[in-house]
Amino acid sequence: MRADPPRLNRRALLAAPIALAACDRFAAAEPAAGPPAAPLKSITPCPFGAIGMTWQLDQADWVEQVRRHCSQLTPEWEQKMERTLGPGFTHDFSASDRMVAFARDNGLRVHGHTLIWYSQGGDVFNDDVPRARFAAEFDRYISSFVSRYRGRMAGWDVVNEPVAEDGDGLRDCHWSRALGMDGYMVRAFEQARAADPDAVLFLNEYNLENIPRKGATFLKLVERLLKLGAPIGGIGTQSHLNIEIPAGQITAFMRDAASLGLPIHISELDFPMQRDGGQLPDLRSTAERRAQQVARVGELAEAFMALPQRQRYAFTTWGLRDIDSWLLREEGKNRPDESPVLLDAAGGPNPAYQAVVDAFTGRAGA
């Protein structure tokens, strides 16, 4: 029986079928063969990260693979309000403490995830709470959490997923109703900065590469919040990739994001081959899906590699091995046939692994 089971609530990825461009140089990539996967932390031009939960700390094989491949760890669930916030504005950071201690003991830096998310906290921070109390508890939560690990966290996802699903404006939520649409975000960043001046503070969002309109809205939001004085230190793009998007779309977003000059975190990378929802059957062959998958991951890695070194914060996959991914786990999407991350169940290379290696070592397109 797993301890601390999460209730994951990831959104479906955009699924608009298109033909893969014939000129896409990654499309012909074959599954990696030969020796075991080289440690990813020795290949990436920045820290390589993965996620973890407390029940995995007792799995020797998971610990072994994390030690081999990772230089950074993101708690998957233990720092979300679902776990940390209780009735009456009580706080419980014990599960988070375990993850941070594990990282420290194994020489990993930690990226905090996440302080303020529209999806959680509304049962305690509800519309019946007087506004003065709401604001005071909002400040206390962030200050207590971030200061607890002052000097021990590389960065934090301070605000998570503030942009509307389709990119048309921002999400209305319990935070915005009480503190203002931009106000709650500015306030969150200010509180986090006061609690730990050295941590890099991120605005984190998904579907930025998949939906150009959402990517544009997100970048405009970053610019606006910076002008309002929010101490945003980095951009987190989750990169739950829709492998059917057109070639070049990922590159275009990364180029636009880089223009802001902030560090960029590939914060939750995965790349499922199966579509979510839709009325039409998926008639793509396995080979076509694999080619699309390898192409898109290769493009992302190349676009990330093209960033100035100072803007490469970290490259993080949402699950180290296939069996660690929320897409395969029973409490997630429960898709046992997926291969949505870089390593297979045994820690060997999945097909997309070689595309990342080629991009990060300068061999892509050779």
- Predicted local distance difference test score (pLDDT) of residue 164: 98
- Classify residue 183: in a domain, yes or no: yes
- Classify residue 84: in a domain, yes or no: yes
**271 with 241: CB under 8 angstroms?**
yes
Respond yes or no: is residue 165 known to be catalytic: no
- Classify residue 214: in a domain, yes or no: yes
Catalytic pick among 76, 161, 205, 244: 161
Respond yes or no: is residue 299 known to be catalytic: no
Catalytic pick among 209, 268, 299, 302: 268
- Predicted local distance difference test score (pLDDT) of residue 278: 67
- Classify residue 5: in a domain, yes or no: no
Task: Work out how many domains the chain is built from and give that number.
Answer: 1
Domain containing 80: what range? 40-275+283-361
- Predicted local distance difference test score (pLDDT) of residue 36: 76
- Classify residue 255: in a domain, yes or no: yes
**CATH number of the domain enclosing 88:** 3.20.20.80
- Classify residue 147: in a domain, yes or no: yes
- Classify residue 335: in a domain, yes or no: yes
pLDDT digits (tens, 9 = 90+) for 261-306: 999 999 999 999 988 876 678 888 999 999 999 999 999 999 999 9
Spans of the chain below 50 pLDDT: 1-34
- Classify residue 10: in a domain, yes or no: no
